Structure 1
Amino acid sequence: MSNLKLIIKREFIARVRNRTFVVMTFLSPLIMVGMISLIAWLATLNNDEIRKVAFYDETGLFSTDFKDSGDVDYIDYSHLTLNDAKDSVVIKKLDGLLYVPKKNSNSELAKSIQFYADEAPSISILNRIEKIIASKLTNQNFKEKGLDLDAIENSKAKVNILIENFSGEKTSKMSSYVKMIFGGLAGYFLMMFIIIYGNMVMRSVIEEKSNRIIEIIISSVKPLQLMMGKILGTSFAGILQFFIWVILGGVLLAVVSSVFGIDPQPAGIDQSMAMQGDSQQEIQLILQDIMKLPLGTLVLSFFIYFIGGYFLYSSIYAAIGAAVDSETDSQQFMLPIILPLMLGIYVGFFSVIENPHGTVSTVFSMIPLTSPIVMLMRIPFGVPWWEVLISMLLLIGSIIFITWMAGKIYRVGILMYGKKPSYKELFKWMKY
């Protein structure tokens, strides 16, 4: 046990004192905050840009419908010929020309409208123009059929569905998004931590092996103790770095937002979501949804899956590091590690969000290689305690089994040099 403590201390100090570790610990939050601020600033510049669109209307139906908005100015070129209108748009470098030809019927007109532009037009502008034209033609069709437009408009029903559970508690329409954000961030951070610090463990093993230091260390320490010491020491250094990132990043983001007046959330990502949350009642319901989340269970589960997932994959990383002579040789073994992590993320975002209690979500939240990510994404949606317990027990059992197998590979591979091992050889090493 004393040897294990010494190895953990040595690995922790070696990581913390490493120049790259120190630089990236304090530089990474600056880079991330800088990127977020740059994206937000560029988004504001993009929103301030006013597009100029000309239109040539042979029908005369839309002369008063295309009105200037905050980001688009419309110019009427209907008094010119079509060719002159095109030339003027090119000379003045406008964003495009909308051509509305004269047709015998509205159905023909709807299929004949064209937009001339040298560059691909903005999708939002095209959608807006299509909506204006469609609304006008629809009203024209109503008039031709002798329908009263005022009566139709007054007859339109606006539906606002209120969501409430069977115990009488109201919830927000944004509830699923709130749960998705909390679960998604937890799963994503876990995946990134496993990849970053698992690679640290592997590189540490490869470095000592290539320097032949391992031959001296292994003479006084058991291979399994050495492997566990590297995993624990690196994990403690990683957790320290992670907390520094969170604290420093939050402080920097708050300072940048207040000093420069930059909103870190880019505008225009989802206007419909923003509009839904404008009302005070909706905001209150969203806050209630956050408070009703199983935050205690989520924090405790995050800690358990965080440690469990890291140990599971770090053991594999350590075994791979012991089996190869250089980081380049390790690439052939990376797919079995990356694939379950990526699968967990994809299942989380495409299956859990859509149906958190479905068969796919439930099965992958039980498989140990994907459960740390998928189950964390499921917990905000409410998971029975026995499912979480089964998932954790399977994860713990898998950690013991995989650590035991990785220890066998580590024990043999740590003293093997000059040959790239195959999967068949790794399997043989497990039997020694």
Structure 2
Amino acid sequence: MNNIFLITKREFLTQVKKRSFIILTLLAPLMIVAFGAVIGLMFKANESHNVIQVVDKSGLFKGQMKSDDQLNYVFISDANENAKINTLKNDESLNGILILPELKNHNYDELEKNTRLVVNSKIGFDTKQRIVSDITNVIKKEKMKQLGIAETELNNLDQHFTLKTINVSENNKEDSDLAFGVKTGLSMVLMYVTFMFIIIYGVRVMRSVLEEKNNRVVEIIISSVKPFELMMGKILGVTMVALTQFIIWITMSVIGALILNTGFSSIQKNIPGGNEELMSKLDIAQIATQISHSLLELNFPLIIFVFIIYFLLGYIFYSSIYAAIGSAVDNETETQQFTLFAILPLTLGMYGSFSLMNNPDGPLGFWLSIIPFTSPVAMIARIPFGVPVWQLVLSIVLLLGTTVFMIFLAGKIYRVGILMYGNKATMKELWKWIRG
């Protein structure tokens, strides 16, 4: 046991003393935020301003189709229709001409059939759908007028209905749409982080074992410690490194949520009511404040506890497999035939968990969070929505038992494979090592 502690300590200190670890740990949250901002800017940069001239032969659409920053409608007389179409190809200031024929006898089918959009370049799908939506809204209003319905009554027909949800299992707390969105976002982030880190750090264990084996350093180490102690020391050392990063990131996230929740609220109270321009600039801040408030309303102690437990057990479970693979082969090329067995269950759990967002308590969510091969990611995906205590306990017990059993099997493979050279391992060979 003392040897395992010493090896764990050595692996942990070797990793955390690296400058790259410190920089990545501190800058990773900022890098994620910056990455999201860059993606948003990329979408914004790809937006284009389109100018569409409209020939409205019925006079029905003029004044009804509104322009904005992305789409500008310019209504022209039908007398210039053919001339404009002929010069459209060489007109760089214009993107297209929308021809809206005359509406006869309220024949909207004929209107749709003869309406056409002439363009001089490819326009985006969103732009086309926006034009269709604007035309549809005008036609809808016209049809309502024929039925004798006033515009105010029409607006009442389109009024959105909000359904309040009271969760009796959470002390009758109201579960709003924003809260559900926050839970979904948190669920996806935790699930994806767990999936990525189990693979990244598991592969790191495998490469470390493979490197020591190829350098014959392991022959010297084995003379002082048992193979099982060396394997467990490596796994636990890298586990502590990952947990250290997570604890720092969780602390930074909670502090950030607290700052957003209190900081912007105090700023808004001091803004004069008539300063509408400044208030509009704080709309994004208000949304961020609401999101942070919804985050802080969650049962964070339970979420953090479950996250750490499942990451710890899931990582040890899969790292045992990776350590066994690293000891059984002589080079990284040979690892490909075995790593698939570690990646596939995790991938199945992650993609299966996407369906949990709409029904976290469904049968798929239950079984994915109970089966040990998929529970490290599936249960973490479910926990923001709330999980019955008995399911949580059952899942942890099964995962713990399976992890201990996997360590036992991996230890048997590691004990033989770590000193084997030049012998290409097969599934039959691995079975012999386990039985022996």
Q: TM-score, normalised by structure 1?
A: 0.82
Q: Which residue of 2 aligns with 1:272?
A: none
Deviates more, 1:394-403 or 1:13-22: 13-22
CA pair 226-418 structure 1, distance change in 2 beyond 3 A = same
Q: Which residue of 2 aligns with 1:189?
A: 193
CA pair 157-93 structure 1, distance change in 2 beyond 3 A = closer
Q: Which residue of 2 aligns with 1:113?
A: 115
Q: Mapping of 1:279-290 within 5 angstroms? A: 290=295
Counterpart contact for 2:88–2:120, Cα < 8 Å: no
Superposed CA deviations along residues 349-380 of structure 1, whole A, max 9, x for unmatched, are 12x11111111110110001111111112122
Q: Which residue of 1 aligns with 2:317?
A: 312
Q: Which residue of 1 aligns with 2:66?
A: 67
Q: Does 1:338 align with 2:337?
A: no
Counterpart contact for 1:302–1:376, Cα < 8 Å: yes
CA pair 424-98 structure 1, distance change in 2 beyond 3 A = farther
Deviates more, 1:74-83 or 1:186-195: 74-83
Q: Which residue of 2 aligns with 1:264?
A: none
Superposed CA deviations along residues 26-52 of structure 1, whole A, max 9, x for unmatched, are 6756654543343344455556x5332
Superposed CA deviations along residues 98-143 of structure 1, whole A, max 9, x for unmatched, are 2324465211222443333355423333333222211222333345
Matched residues in 1 for 2:364 and 2:22: separation? Answer: 42
CA pair 288-147 structure 1, distance change in 2 beyond 3 A = same
One-letter identity of the residue aligned with 1:138? K
CA pair 120-252 structure 1, distance change in 2 beyond 3 A = farther
Deviates more, 1:355-364 or 1:100-109: 100-109
What's the Cα RMSD here? 3.5
One-letter identity of the residue aligned with 1:51? N
Q: Mapping of 1:21-420 within 5 angstroms? A: 21=21, 24-25=24-25, 31-43=31-43, 45=45, 50-79=49-78, 80-82=80-82, 84-85=84-85, 87-88=87-88, 90-102=90-102, 105-117=107-119, 119-143=121-145, 145=146, 147-150=148-151, 152-153=153-154, 156=157, 158=159, 159-165=161-167, 169-243=173-247, 290-350=295-355, 352-420=356-424
- Give, in angstroms, the shift of residue 297 of structure 1: 1.6
Matched residues in 2 for 1:46 and 1:375: separation? Answer: 38
- Give, in angstroms, the shift of residue 406 of structure 1: 0.5
Counterpart contact for 2:65–2:135, Cα < 8 Å: no
Matched residues in 2 for 1:22 and 1:379: separation? Answer: 30
Matched residues in 2 for 1:244 and 1:314: separation? Answer: 22
Counterpart contact for 1:361–1:374, Cα < 8 Å: yes
CA pair 368-88 structure 1, distance change in 2 beyond 3 A = same
Deviates more, 1:172-181 or 1:109-118: 109-118
Counterpart contact for 2:88–2:96, Cα < 8 Å: no
CA pair 69-169 structure 1, distance change in 2 beyond 3 A = same
CA pair 420-53 structure 1, distance change in 2 beyond 3 A = farther
Counterpart contact for 2:311–2:376, Cα < 8 Å: yes
Matched residues in 1 for 2:294 and 2:26: separation? Answer: 35
Matched residues in 2 for 1:197 and 1:44: separation? Answer: 35
Matched residues in 1 for 2:109 and 2:7: separation? Answer: 78
Matched residues in 2 for 1:284 and 1:36: separation? Answer: 18
Structure 2 unaligned segments of length 5 or more: list them.
264-282
Counterpart contact for 1:171–1:289, Cα < 8 Å: no
SS at the partner of 1:430?
helix
Counterpart contact for 2:144–2:154, Cα < 8 Å: no
- Give, in angstroms, the shift of residue 326 of structure 1: 1.4
CA pair 390-87 structure 1, distance change in 2 beyond 3 A = same
Matched residues in 1 for 2:215 and 2:284: separation? Answer: 64
One-letter identity of the residue aligned with 2:398? L
Size of the aligned set, in residue pairs, is 407
Counterpart contact for 1:56–1:85, Cα < 8 Å: no
Deviates more, 1:323-332 or 1:389-398: 323-332
Matched residues in 1 for 2:187 and 2:156: separation? Answer: 42
Counterpart contact for 1:57–1:99, Cα < 8 Å: yes
Superposed CA deviations along residues 45-70 of structure 1, whole A, max 9, x for unmatched, are 556x5332222334433232233223
One-letter identity of the residue aligned with 1:12? F
Query: Identity, % of aligned pairs?
Result: 39
Deviates more, 1:152-161 or 1:295-304: 152-161
One-letter identity of the residue aligned with 2:298? L
Matched residues in 2 for 1:289 and 1:248: separation? Answer: 17
Matched residues in 2 for 1:346 and 1:223: separation? Answer: 36
One-letter identity of the residue aligned with 2:115? I
Match of 1:421 among 417, 421, 425: 425
Counterpart contact for 2:4–2:229, Cα < 8 Å: yes
Counterpart contact for 2:166–2:175, Cα < 8 Å: yes
Q: Which residue of 1 aligns with 2:277?
A: none
Matched residues in 2 for 1:280 and 1:27: separation? Answer: 23
Deviates more, 1:403-412 or 1:80-89: 80-89
